[in-house]
């Protein structure tokens, strides 16, 4: 490989990106660009949203681009069956509930679950267990901050190892 061969985003590359995520209204939902750390991920193993990963394929360091990602390539459709009414008494009594509040807990199998309160009517609380971005079209502004080859171990494990990570 010649010295001036530029790294390109593809399988077995560890990629660092800065991004700003906006919704259809143009409001910033999430960003790591204001003094944040770059998102560092292993490309090609679905570590990030499929639409975002596809858009990064073939990009070079310092490349900057915008991409619009439909729900199917992001958090999926909003599923009405994941919206349910529960009794206020089934939720922690010391919690002051508000519409829009995100509740986090674990299901009976110990897996983390999250639900957004969408309505409170007397004793009835309506919870939406969809991901908050389900059904949403996402607009990303992306900068490729760095690209390197994954180590053999990272490629085998399917994830990035940080500096000083213990072997596992
Ligand atoms: Zn590992």
Provide CATH code, domain 13-75+133-157: 3.10.50.40
Q: Of 130, 133, 122, give the one whose Cα is nearest residue 84.
A: 130
H, E, C per residue of 129-168: CCCCCCCCCEEEEEEEEEEEECCHHHHHHCCCCCCCCCCC
Domain ranges of the chain: 13-75+133-157, 80-128
> What pLDDT is recorded for position 131?
92
Quickly name the fold that domain 80-128 has: Thrombin, subunit H (2.40.10)
CA 80 / ligand 1 centre spacing (Å): 37
Q: In this predicted model, what pLDDT tens digit does every residue of 72-127 receive, in sequence order?
A: 999 999 999 999 999 999 998 888 999 999 998 887 888 888 899 999 999 999 99
Tokens 């059904």 belong to which residue?
135
- Please give the structure tokens belonging to residue 38: 């770059």
163 C-alpha vs ligand 1 centroid, how far in Å?
12
Q: How far is the CA of 45 from the centre of ligand 1 (A)?
A: 13
Question: What distance in angstroms lies between residue 41's CA and the mean position of ligand 1's atoms?
Answer: 12
Provide the pLDDT confidence category of residue 57 given band limits of 50, 70 and 90.
very high
How much is the pLDDT for 162?
83
pLDDT in tens, 13-45: 999 999 999 999 999 999 999 888 999 999 999
User: Is the model's pLDDT at 1 over the cut of 80?
Assistant: no
| pLDDT value at residue 97 | 94
The reported pTM is 0.82
CA angle 126, 136, 100 (to 5 degrees): 30
Distance CA 60, CA 144 (A): 7
Q: How many A from CA of 73 to the centre of ligand 1?
A: 26
- 12 CA to middle of ligand 1, Å? 14
**CA 6 centroid distance within chain:** 28
Question: Of 43, 41, 50, whose CA–CA distance to 69 is shortest?
Answer: 50
């Amino acid at each position: 490989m010649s010295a001036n061969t530029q790294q390109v985003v593809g399988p077995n590359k560890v990629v660092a990106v800065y991004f700003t995520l906006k919704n259809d209204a143009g409001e910033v939902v999430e960003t790591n660009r204001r003094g944040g750390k770059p998102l560092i991920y292993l490309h090609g193993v679905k570590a990030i949203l499929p639409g975002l990963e596809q858009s990064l394929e073939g990009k070079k360091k310092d490349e900057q681009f915008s991409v619009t990602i439909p729900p199917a390539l992001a958090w999926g459709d909003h599923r009405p069956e994941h919206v349910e009414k529960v009794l206020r008494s089934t939720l922690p009594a010391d919690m002051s509930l508000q519409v829009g509040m995100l509740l986090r807990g674990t299901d009976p199998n110990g897996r983390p679950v999250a639900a957004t309160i969408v309505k409170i009517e007397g004793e009835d609380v309506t919870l939406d267990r969809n991901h908050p971005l389900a059904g949403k079209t996402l607009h990303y502004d992306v900068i490729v901050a760095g690209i390197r080859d994954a180590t053999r171990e990272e490629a085998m494990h399917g994830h990035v190892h940080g500096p000083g990570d213990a072997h596992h």
